[in-house]
A and B are shown apart, each in its own frame.
Chain A
Amino acid sequence: MIKRFLYSQKVAPYVFVLPFVLVFAIFWVYPLLSSFQMSFQQITLGQDSSFARFDNYSKLLTDTVFLKAVVNSAIYMVLTLVILIPFPMLFAVLINNRLMWGREFFKSSFFFPALTSVVVAGTIFRLMFGEMEGSLINSVLGLFGVEPVKFLKGQTTGFVALLSLATWRWTGVNMLYFLSGLKSIPDDYYEAASIDGASSFQKFTRITMPLLKPVTIYVLTISIYAGLAMFIESMMLWNGNNSPKNIGLTIVGYLYRQGIEKNNLGYAAAVGIVLLLITMIINLTQLAFTGLFKKED
């Protein structure tokens, strides 16, 4: 009986997707619905929660710190896209080139930072970008006669540190995605293009880039999500969730501050729902624009 059940062609697909469905329901749908409900509540430690209607959301609309967090996250996301899509793509093409020496070495050394824990990396970057004369970046700048910079106290310089960390960490990962995309482009295309007299640049723009489009869309999608959900990098860089003038505060950081640090779980849930909405809107728009929802020919 069991055998028949397991071998049944009708049942098998459901058995296979069951783990995913379960995980999705328990760790995604349930928390989502639950936080949606919480976002309409006032929740205090040790007391029954009470219904707060739209109070949390209306407070959020006039909350300047939240606005600052949204702007920070958005800028961070855009800048990571600007850096972490073109450059890894370029590096991937370079490394994929047969004339390139030490390909395996570069591949692994680019990927290595991704294996390092954010906590360790963040702490090291914090020390590197320290404001003392003796900290790494400032001592290098000192060689050129530049006065010590208080990196982690200024908006622009703070973002320089934050983006250096992101670039150092994620270039290798995105590069690997592009490399795997490049592998699927047949050599024949390039040969044919060579015969037709196409230059390297033309080959890159006419063959490589269009054929890498699916990978690019994938990297773009996860980068948008990762950019908006960034939290630990900022937390490690500023040694806590509170950066001077909130220059490093992100949406998730604000959610953490409200929910965990201030015990204001209802309000934090509202922040989370807004973050979800922002991410969904941006990503769905992006996917619609890049034609992912069109039926394949």
Chain B
Amino acid sequence: MKVNKWFILLAALSLVLFMSGCGKSSGSAGGEQSVLDGGAGDNATELSYWTFVELHGKHFEKMLEKWNAANPDRQIKLNVTVMPYDDMHNKLSIALQTGTGAPDIADIELGKFPDFLKGTPQLEPLNDVIDPYRDTLVKSRVDLYSKDGVNYGIPTHVGASVAFYNTEILQEAGVDYTQIVTWDDFKKAGIQVYEKTGKSMGTADTSATWQESMLLAQQGADFTDEQGNPKVNSPEMAKALTILKDLQDNNVISTIAGGQPDTEEAYGEFNSGKYATAFMPLWMMSRYTNYMPDLSGKIAIAPIPVIEPGMPRSVGGGGTGTVVTKTAKDIQLAKDFLAFAKLSEDANIEIWNTLGFDPVNMDVWNMQDVTHNPDNEFVKYFINNPFDVLNEIKDEIKLIKSVPASPTINNVLNTVTLNEIFEDGKDIQQALDDAQKQIEQELK
């Protein structure tokens, strides 16, 4: 009998423990957390911020100090959580769908943004706080994060795509990168590099569409039509891939571990000098300074090659829209702070200083003392000044639209199609037709 009593007690206890374990609401979202107080007092409002880029937190840290000093009655403590890319977007999506657990402020990457605009966005409209700055900003970058004229995200940079050349390899092969204007020039230079050094001139990307975006923009085309319907089997797309495939067949470009330049494996490959060129948006600069220290003083920035001279030499690539969620504690405060931290002239200067991004306030591009500051780590790292190139291509930066179909298009191209073309040598038109069919099927 005695044993029985203990059993019952134990059973009851374990049940209670089990249930309490389940009911526990998770206050933290996992990931790496840190609280930035930026000199805030005790009655500061604590706002939470999720991001997938650790560096973004550093930028906010600087701006937070300035905000708290300027707004003593509206001080903020920022609770920053850094999570891996997929993880953060998935968690944010679940939190927004269920209406609980979302942060006050979050970064949403361009490729994922359309998913968050489906139906009625669970994000706060930001028009009122963007308006005072609107004239100073690159319009297309603001419009990227909008739906029906309502702005839901604040951009971080323009992301103008450029070419990063490893001049050490080029010199060894006797190539002058400043003479490369068209893809034909690039091909000739690449053949020379391969013959002289055995190295690849560039990468054939299988897991990202940066290069396709550049080649489409040059032809005035896009992955989608005017209505936002996918058209990846267009003649322009076929032409773009034919050019790249021809480069691969001539050993000018080759596939890279990781599938594209912006991956951990690829940083290693570049760092050890196996590839002479990366065609990437300007934010790739921060990857060089952070992950490819051996290349310091060897990398030159230049406009990307074009199919024919006179075509636009750049396209905005990637991007992060920072949003305020509908469940934010103090919506107005979050919005005001966000605009201050990302859109003010001061913020734009800091975005360049801390992150090495090309700011959306183009006035900054002409501030000689900011852009050519000799103490700036990016100015020190690269052979030429990025803003000399940026100002040269300033009026040629095209835009690839981000529409509801974009995530699906990216997924199909980056997992299936580009692999079929560059790894298996599948017929380009056939691969594109299959992709189009697959995308349409998935969007049904």
CA separation between A150 and B204, bound complex, in Å? Answer: 15
- Give the residue among B121, B206, B259, B442 with the most A Cβ atoms within 10 A: B442
Which stretch in A72-80, A211-219, A257-265 binds the other chain? Answer: A257-265
* Assembly CA distance A132 to B256 (angstroms): 9
Flag if A45 contacts B11 (CB, 8 Å): no
CB within 8 Å of B: which A223-274 residues = 240-246, 260-263, 265
Q: Does A184 contact B (CB under 8 A)?
A: no
* Given A23-B18, A132-B265, A132-B268, A245 contacting B93 (CB threshold 8 A): no
CB closest chain-A residue, reference B410: A242
B207 contacts chain A at the CB level, 8 A cutoff: yes
Contact B118 A131 (CB under 8 A): no
A38 CB, min distance to chain B CBs, angstroms: 12
Size category, A interface: 35 or more
Interchain nearest-CB distance for A130 vs B (Å): 7
When chains A and B are docked, how far (Å) is the Cα of A237 from the Cα of B374? 43
Residues of B93-111 at the interface with A, using a CB-CB cut-off of 8 Å, are: 93-94, 96-97
Contact A19 B14 (CB under 8 A): yes
Please give the distance in Å from A224's CB to the nearest CB on chain B. Answer: 28
Stretch of A57-65, A86-94, A192-200, A202-210 at the chain-chain interface: A57-65
Q: List CB contacts (< 8 Å) of B329-383 with chain A.
A: none
Residue of A nearest to B414 (CB): A242
- Nearest-CB residue, chain B, relative to A27: B22
- Minimum CB–CB distance from A267 to chain B (whole Å) comes to 10
Q: Would you call A45 and B269 a contact (CB within 8 A)?
A: no
Complex CA gap A18/B97 in Å reads: 33
Verify if A186 is at the interface (C-beta below 8 Å from B): no
Among B58-66, B156-164, B242-250, B416-424, the stretch in contact with A: B416-424
Cβ distance A25 to chain B, nearest Cβ, rounded Å: 13
Chain B interface category by residue count: 35 or more
In the assembled complex, the Cα of A137 lies from the Cα of B411 at a distance in Å of 29
Considering the complex, give the chain A residue whose CB is closest to the CB of B19.
A22
Q: How far is the CA of A65 from the CA of B440 in the complex (A)?
A: 13
Contact B269 A65, beta carbon cutoff 8 Å: no
Complex interface residues of chain A between 10 and 39 (CB less than 8 A to chain B)? 12, 15-16, 18-19, 22-23, 27
CA distance A119 to B94 in the complex (A): 22
Contact across chains for A244 and B119 when beta carbons are under 8 A apart? no
Closest to B8 in A: A6
Q: Which residues of A contact B4 (CB under 8 A)?
A: 7, 12
B120 contacts A by Cβ under 8 Å: yes
A19-B11, A130-B257 known; A246-B415 Cβ under 8 A:
yes
In the complex, the answer to whether A262 meets B115 with C-beta atoms within 8 Å is yes
Asked whether, in the complex, the Cβ of B18 is within 8 Å of the Cβ of A261, the reply is no
Inter-chain contact B11/A15, CB cutoff 8 Å: yes
Do A47 and B257 touch (CB < 8 A)?
A: no
Q: How far is the CB of B314 from chain A (nearest CB, A)?
A: 28
User: What are the residues of chain B within 8 A of A263 when measuring CB–CB?
Assistant: 93, 97, 115, 118
Q: Are A46 and B120 in contact, with the CB atoms below 8 A?
A: yes
> Would A46 and B444 count as touching, CB distance under 8 A?
no
Contacts of A47 in B (CB 8 A): 119-120
The reply to whether B97 and A45 contact each other, CB–CB distance below 8 Å, is yes
**Complex CA–CA separation, A260 to B115 (angstroms):** 11
A residues with CB within 8 A of B: 6-7, 12, 15-16, 18-19, 22-23, 27, 44-47, 59, 62-65, 130-132, 150, 153, 240-246, 260-263, 265
Q: Which 8 A-B pairs have the closest CB atoms?
A: A47-B119, A44-B119, A46-B120, A244-B419, A46-B119, A19-B15, A242-B415, A260-B90
